[in-house]
Amino acid sequence: MKTSVKAPKRKALIVVGILLLIVGFFFVVYVKTEHYLCSWTYFDHMVFPIYCDRWIHPYLPLGIILFVLGLGLTVGGYLKLRSLKKRASGHRILNCRSCGALVNIEDSSCKSCGTPLRLPKAVGAPVSRRKKSPGLAALGSFFIWGSGHIYAGKVARGIALLFADFMLLAFTYLFSVVYHSIFYLFVGVLGLILTPIIMWHAYRVTEEHNAKFLRAIAVKGKEEVPPEASMRGERRFCPWCGEKADTPFCPHCGGKL
């Protein structure tokens, strides 16, 4: 029930994010188009003399902010909606491993035969099925802040760094082109200092991801055949659904082994 209530909210976030993306893109294109028209001497003095004097450069950072905010809402809403769908499609009904009767996953024992139910092992955050290159993550962060973190699976942190990168570029543009202030040098030096730090952090985050990947492989490799299954010589996998099953009845599909 909670999933059905939360799903419309996630969809609303996606819709709002798409609208902000469109508005932000419109502001950016609008400012760039005006800059292109006003750069012509004919348009500047003959057609739009007053319009070009009323320069609207503040619309550029506003458009960038709306665009990045819309991107964050769209991606975040989509990821949360996908997680809700995966949670809703999870198995709530299983089969007893002894008699094959249908049982609820929250029950402690089978109501038909009284056999205790084995609960699935708790797992942490999902880990990608392949290793990732720390050097590639650092190289991506050199060109665009946050791209290396997104590549390593840290989406929220990557979007925040991407927003900071766009803001830094916007302020550099404002102080250098619009206001002709020397303050843009300070902003540029700040970017030069932060870039190697972000590259190093993306490298470390990717190494941590690879360490989790190797640990997951090691844990999976240590799984052994249960003693009762090895003694009885029963199959480890159900012939009907292919899932692990070392009992007379498959706990996943209820098929008899």
* pLDDT score recorded for residue 130: 73
Query: pTM value?
Result: 0.43
Q: What is the mean pLDDT of residues 94-101?
A: 70
Non-local CB neighbours of 103 within 8 Å, separated by 6+ positions: 93, 94, 95, 96, 110, 111, 117
Query: Which residues sit opposite 244 in a β-bridge?
Result: 237
The answer to which of 98-107, 147-156, 212-221, 227-236 has the lowest mean pLDDT is: 227-236
Angle at 125 between CA 123 and CA 126, to 5 degrees: 95
The answer to which of 8-17, 30-39, 92-101 has the lowest mean pLDDT is: 30-39
pLDDT digits (tens, 9 = 90+) for 206-237: 998 888 878 777 666 554 444 444 444 444 56
pLDDT band at 106 (very low <50, low <70, confident <90, very high): low
Q: What is the mean pLDDT of residues 74-82?
A: 77
Helix, strand, or coil (residue 102) = strand
Q: What is the mean pLDDT of residues 45-66?
A: 57
Q: What is the mean pLDDT of residues 50-67?
A: 61
Q: What is the mean pLDDT of residues 139-145?
A: 89
Angstrom distance (rounded) from CA 65 to CA 174: 14
Q: What is the mean pLDDT of residues 43-48?
A: 45
Helix, strand, or coil (residue 16) = helix
Kindly compute the dihedral angle of the four CA atoms of residues 246, 247, 251, 256, in this order, to the nearest 10 degrees. Answer: 110
Q: What is the mean pLDDT of residues 141-159?
A: 87
- Tell which phi-psi region holds residue 209, choosing left (phi > 0), alpha (psi between -120 and 50) or beta: alpha
Angstrom distance (rounded) from CA 180 to CA 70: 30
Kindly tell me if the per-residue pLDDT of 131 is higher than 60: yes
Query: Which residues sit opposite 256 in a β-bridge?
Result: 249
pLDDT band at 200 (very low <50, low <70, confident <90, very high): very high
Angstrom distance (rounded) from CA 160 to CA 166: 10
Kindly tell me if the per-residue pLDDT of 68 is higher than 70: yes
Selected residue with higher pLDDT from 140 and 108: 140
What is the chain's mean pLDDT, rounded? Answer: 69
Place of tokens 């319009």: 51
